[in-house]
Amino acid sequence: MRNLSIENIKNVVTYPDKEMKINRPGRHGGKVRAFEKTVDGVTLKVVAEIKGSECWLMTAYEFS
């Protein structure tokens, strides 16, 4: 879990390699998205709700 830092999580959401729509509404009226980005050979995945310029983190994890 070395790559799972708040800076990397923000970077994954802002500059993802891959973004997927999740077909369900968020609790804040936004859209739920899954973001992926490879950092130092490890893929980080972040699921967050996005509404305008606001972002609510739901979960984040790394896998190889």
Give the chain's domain count: 1
| 33 domain-assigned | yes
Q: CA-CA distance, 12 to 19, in Å (whole number)? A: 10
- Residue 46 belongs to some domain of the structure: yes
Is the residue at 54 inside a domain? yes
pLDDT at 1: 57
pLDDT digits (tens, 9 = 90+) for 12-23: 999 999 999 999
Question: If we measure between CA atoms, which residue out of 31, 11, 10, 28 comes closest to residue 20?
Answer: 31
Residue 40 lies in a domain: yes
Could you list the residue range(s) of the whole structural domain that residue 17 is in?
A: 6-63
Do residues 36 and 44 make contact, with C-beta atoms less than 8 angstroms apart?
Answer: yes
Residue pLDDT, tens place only, 2-52: 778 999 999 999 999 999 999 989 999 999 999 999 988 999 999 999 999
Query: How high is the pLDDT of residue 2?
Result: 73
Distance, CA of 64 to CA of 54 (rounded, Å): 29
Residue 18 lies in a domain: yes
In a domain, 1, yes or no: no
